[in-house]
Amino acid sequence: MTTRTLAVVSAGLSNPSSTRLLADRLTAATVDALGARGDDATVEVVELRTYARDLADNLVTGFPNESLRTAVDTVAGADGLIAVTPIFSASYSGLFKTFFDVLDKEALVGKPVLLGATAGTARHSLALEHAMRPLFAYLRAVTVPTGVFAASEDWAGAGGVDRALAGRIDRAAGELADLLTGRPAAARPTDPFADPTTSFEELLRRP
């Protein structure tokens, strides 16, 4: 059994917070998905609210202190990352962005990342695509296809989670587990017209 290391970055400002709640749900689902694929997981959580002053100091000095260095090394050294932020004014929080600003520019290259976001209203849901995904594309991370957004009403279902949100969580967790274990993507149907060397007569004979 291979042990995968997961870093979880949560940028919630309150304690408790819906951002941390979503991060915990995504983490548990990913650990379960890895277990179903025969792998174990160790999890390290980086709660950004505890590093707010350290991040500000890093911006000014250009260097992380010892405490922040531990958090940075946790993320840089993990096999995979779950990153969750609250959405303010249709984008990620300043605290979330600051943390990824101070990472080394090579820290996330090729790293599988699951993106999550929370807000009071579903009106902010597209922030996953127009704000978060471009940020991680710039950092050359490999984001899973399914991003998970949770509005306030999504926590009202059985067990505290709406069925649709639970489905998105499980799907995204499975995608991250597939990337971490190196499972091949589902095979795409063969396009009979993709081979330019096939003659027109042969194409006509195909059913």
- Full-model pTM: 0.86
Number of domains in the chain: 1
For 98-111, how does the pLDDT look when each residue is reduced to its tens digit (9 = 90+)?
999 999 999 999 99
User: What pLDDT does residue 150 have?
Assistant: 94
For 66-101, how does the pLDDT look when each residue is reduced to its tens digit (9 = 90+)?
999 999 999 999 999 999 999 998 899 999 999 999
Mean residue pLDDT across the chain: 89
Range of the domain at 117: 3-205
Dist. CA 106–CA 167, nearest whole Å: 33
Above 90 in pLDDT, residue 153? no
Which CATH number fits the domain that encloses residue 29? 3.40.50.360
Residues 6+ apart with CB under 8 A from 52: 95
